[in-house]
Structure 1
Amino acid sequence: MKNLLLLVFLVGMVGCREKALSPEELQPLAGKWRLSAVQPAGKNEWEDVTQSGQYQFEIRYDGVILDQNGLPACCAPKYLSVNGKTFTIVPKESLPTNPQCALVSCLACDTWNMDLQGDKLIVSYCEGSGRNRFVKM
């Protein structure tokens, strides 16, 4: 009976384990990404972004989000949810201060939801905020 209870407990623990993204699985995200289209909240159509003033960001090997100048992004998330798996962002090296962040009032979401399909990345930041499509540079 004791062995049966232990087996049920272990199966329950394994079944309830959160799906986590390993650092190795994060590597396809690493690199620079350029905004190519936006899908406003409540709409089903994508709107292409023109070449001038395109937003860019970089995902570092450890999940840290950097802006186009290589500085930590303002209002960056604590977690990435990539194709249904969660990754906790823990910087592996020190980060410089981004002076622009002092000018920004963040209403950031802790988790950025990402759908990675090859060299295309669709990101939704907060529930109901629309989505952005990026292409790898």
Structure 2
Amino acid sequence: MKAKGLLLFLVMVIAWSCDEKRLAPDEIKPVVGKWMLNAVKQGDDAKQWEPIAPKDATVFEIRYDGVILDANGLPACCVPSYLVYQGNKFTIEPKEKLAPNPSCALVLCLACDTWYLELENGQLITNACNSGGRKRFTRL
């Protein structure tokens, strides 16, 4: 009986410690908008941002509900389920019906359900899956 009680206590402690603050849509307003890639850092040890020529830059949009759209306003392929901004997790839940993006049928996505976002000097810095590689975007 003591073992069951201890096990229940441990499960409750683990569940409580995993509970994260959830961001509300108004808390992600600073990152909502259209963004164009302007530089990348290949890893955590990279000291310099490598610039991206405007002709090679990708564009995406973060909608008010966290949905990631491509440059054509269609749902982007290989998008996360969560955004982490200012250390808090935001679950992406579409508030409007999304049109299908036929391009996504041609893309093989790697599993990455979380994008980490920072705003630095008016630029958006993303780190998909906390992988070390970072991308920097300017607002359009």
Q: What TM-score, normalized to structure 2?
A: 0.82
Cα drift, residue 97 of structure 1: 0.4
Q: 1:59 aligns with which of 62, 82, 94?
A: 62
State yes or no: 1:35 paired with 2:37.
Answer: yes
- Which ranges of structure 1 fall in alignment gaps of 5 or more residues? 1-12
Distance 1:103 1:21, change over 3 A: same
Distance 1:15 1:126, change over 3 A: closer
Indicate the SS of the match to 2:78.
coil
Is the contact made by 1:76 and 1:108 (CA closer than 8 Å) also made in structure 2?
Answer: no
Q: How many equivalent pairs are there?
A: 125
* Amino acid in the other structure paired with 1:110: D
Equivalent residue number for residue 129 of structure 2: 126
Indicate the SS of the match to 2:40.
strand
Segments of 4+ moved more than 4 angstroms: 13-17
Counterpart Cα distance in 1 of 2:30 and 2:121: 8
Is the contact made by 1:73 and 1:98 (CA closer than 8 Å) also made in structure 2?
Answer: yes
* Amino acid in the other structure paired with 2:35: W
* Amino acid in the other structure paired with 2:115: W
Cα drift, residue 80 of structure 1: 0.1
Distance 1:100 1:129, change over 3 A: farther
1:1-137 aligned within 5 A: 17-41=19-43, 42-117=45-120, 119-137=122-140
Q: What TM-score, normalized to structure 1?
A: 0.84
- Which ranges of structure 2 fall in alignment gaps of 5 or more residues? 1-14
* Amino acid in the other structure paired with 2:112: C
Counterpart Cα distance in 2 of 1:17 and 1:108: 22
Cα drift, residue 15 of structure 1: 8.3
RMSD over equivalenced CA pairs, Å? 1.9
Report percent identity of matched pairs: 52
Indicate the SS of the match to 1:97.
coil
